[in-house]
Chains A and B, each alone.
Chain A
C-alpha cells in the first residue's frame, strides 16, 4: 500500500511538472505574438474586422533563427547572413498588396546592397507536401510569380513553418528588419510606403556591429 501511495504521489508530481512546463511554453509562445493595436486615426477600413495596424514585441529582440529552402532547393539559414542587415519580407503570390510593394523592394535592395543589405522573401503560399505532383506545380507557380515580379533577391518557401516564431500575424505583406547583430529593429505590417521601408532599412544598416556578430542559428 505504501508503495502504491508513493507511486501515486510520484505521478501527481510528474503531472504537476508537465502542467507547469506546458504553461511556461504557452507563455513563451505568447511573448512573440504580434499584438493588434487599433489605429483609429489612420484606419479607413471602417473596421469591424479590419486587419488593422500592429506592433510587434519582437522588435528589440533577436530575430528567431530559421532554415528554409529556396526555389532551387537549397537550404538557406538566417545565420548565413551574419553581419548583414536583412529585411525578411513575408508575402504570398495571392497577396495583391504584396505585389504593389515588390518593385520598391527590388529597387531598395539594389540601392542598399553595396552597404551590406539583403532581402529574403519568404513565401507563405500553401505547399501540399503530401502530394509530390501538386507540390511541384505549386513551386513552379511561385517561381513564375517571382519571375513576373522581377524579384532579384532570394525567395524562400514554406513560410508557414516559421510563422509561429515570428508572431503568427497572418497579415501580408509583413516585413521584419534585422540589424547586423541579428536584432529586429523594425517591423511593418501591411502595405506601407517606400519611404517607410527605406527608413527601416537605414535603421537596420545603422544598428548592430560586426563585432556583436552571431554564431549559426542564433538569429
Chain B
C-alpha cells in the first residue's frame, strides 16, 4: 500500500511540469491558429468532392478553384520561362489516372509600374477540365495544385494545395 502511495505521489509530481505545460501549449496554438488568418492559402479548391464515373473509361471532370481576392496566380502558360505555371498532379498509383488536363487561358495582367510587361494570370474562380480514368472501385484521390501567387506589389513563394476527390468508378 505504502509503495502504491509513493508511486502515485511520484507520478503526480512527474506529471506536474507536463500538466503545467499543456494549457500553455493550447493557448499558444490557439493564438497561432488565429494568427494563421494573416497568411491564408492564395488558392482554394472548391469542388467536386465526390464524382461517379464509368470504370476504365475516360471521364472529364471540372475542378473548380478560387484565387483569393486581391491575388493572382500565373496561368498554366505564363508568358515567361522564369515564371512558375499553375499545374495539377495526381499520384500515380491510386487506381485513378490523370489522362489529360485542360487549363483555362490566362488573363493579361501587368503591374501598374511596368504596364509593358504582360503576365498571364488567373484571378477569382477558374476551372480545370481534368480527364480521369479510374479502375472499378472507390478511390480517395489526393491530387495537388501547384501555383505561385502575387498581389499587385509582391509575390509569395510557390505553394501546393491538396485536391481531394472521392472517385467512385462503376
Interface residue ranges, A against B (CB under 8 Å)? 1, 4-5, 8-9, 11-13, 15-16, 19, 23, 26, 36, 43-51, 92-98, 100, 124, 126, 141, 145, 170-173, 189-192
Q: Which residues in A have their C-beta under 8 angstroms from that of B18?
A: 15, 19
Distance between A94 CB and nearest chain B CB, rounded to angstroms: 5
> Contact at A190–B17, with CB atoms within 8 Å?
no
- Contact yes or no, A48 B70, CB < 8 A: yes
Docked CA distance A36–B34 (Å): 13
Q: How many A-B residue pairs have CB under 8 A?
A: 117
Q: A45-B70, A50-B70, A172-B155 are in contact. Are A23 and B14 (CB under 8 A)?
A: no
Asked if B151 contacts A45 (CB within 8 A), the reply is: yes
Q: Tell whether, in the assembled complex, residue A172 and residue B16 are in contact, meaning their CB atoms are under 8 Å apart.
A: no
B70 close to A12 (CB less than 8 A): no
Contact residues of B between 54 and 72, Cβ < 8 Å to A: 68-71
6 CB-based A-B contacts, threshold 8 Å = A36-B39, A49-B70, A94-B155, A95-B150, A190-B151, A190-B153
8 tightest CB-CB pairs across the interface, nearest first? Answer: A45-B70, A190-B154, A49-B68, A16-B17, A48-B69, A190-B153, A46-B70, A50-B70
Instruction: Give the chain B neighbours of A13 by CB distance below 8 A.
Output: 17
Interface size on B, residues (CB 8 A): 42
Cross-chain contact of B156 among A100, A145, A171 (Cβ < 8 A): A171
* With A93-B82, A96-B111 as contacts: A8 and B68 at CB distance below 8 Å: no
Instruction: Let me know if B111 and A97 touch, CB within 8 A.
Output: yes
Specify the chain B residue showing the minimal Cβ separation from A17: B17
Contact B71 A19 (CB under 8 A): no
Contact of B113 among A4, A51, A191 (CB under 8 A): A191
CB distance from B65 to the nearest CB of A (A): 14
Known: A95-B150, A96-B155. 20 other contacts (CB 8 A): A1-B6, A8-B13, A19-B18, A23-B24, A26-B28, A44-B152, A48-B68, A51-B154, A96-B119, A97-B155, A98-B155, A100-B114, A126-B158, A171-B154, A172-B154, A189-B154, A190-B151, A190-B154, A191-B111, A191-B113
Residues of A close to B151: CB separation below 8 A? 45, 50-51, 190
Other-chain residue from B17, B39, B84 in contact with A170 (beta carbon distance below 8 A): B39
CB B127 to nearest CB in A, in angstroms, measures 20
- Chain A residues with CB under 8 Å of B82's CB are 93-94, 141, 145
> Could you tell me if A49 and B111 are in contact, using CB atoms closer than 8 angstroms?
no
* CA distance in complex: A191, B83 (Å): 17
Partner of B6, one of A5, A92, A97, A192: A5
Interface of chain B residues 20 through 67 with chain A (CB within 8 A): 20-21, 24, 28, 38-42
Please pick, from A19, A49, A92, the residue contacting B40 in the complex, using a CB distance under 8 A: A49
B86 within 8 A of A: no
Take A8-B14, A46-B70, A94-B148 as given contacts and tell me if A173 and B40 are in contact as well, using a CB distance cutoff of 8 Å: no
Known: A45-B69, A96-B155. A11 touches B119 (CB 8 A): no
How far is B82's CA from A15's CA once the two chains are assembled, in angstroms? 49
Q: Within the complex, which residue of A49, A98, A173 is in contact with B42, where a contact is CB–CB below 8 Å? A: A49
Interface assignment of B10: CB less than 8 Å from any CB of chain A:
yes
Instruction: Output the residue of A46, A145, A170, A191 with the most chain B CB within 10 A.
Output: A191
Q: Which residues of B contact A5 (CB under 8 A)?
A: 6, 9-10
**Cα distance, A100 to B68, chains bound together (Å):** 24
Contact with A along B93-131 (1 / 0, CB 8 A): 000000000000000000101100101000000000000
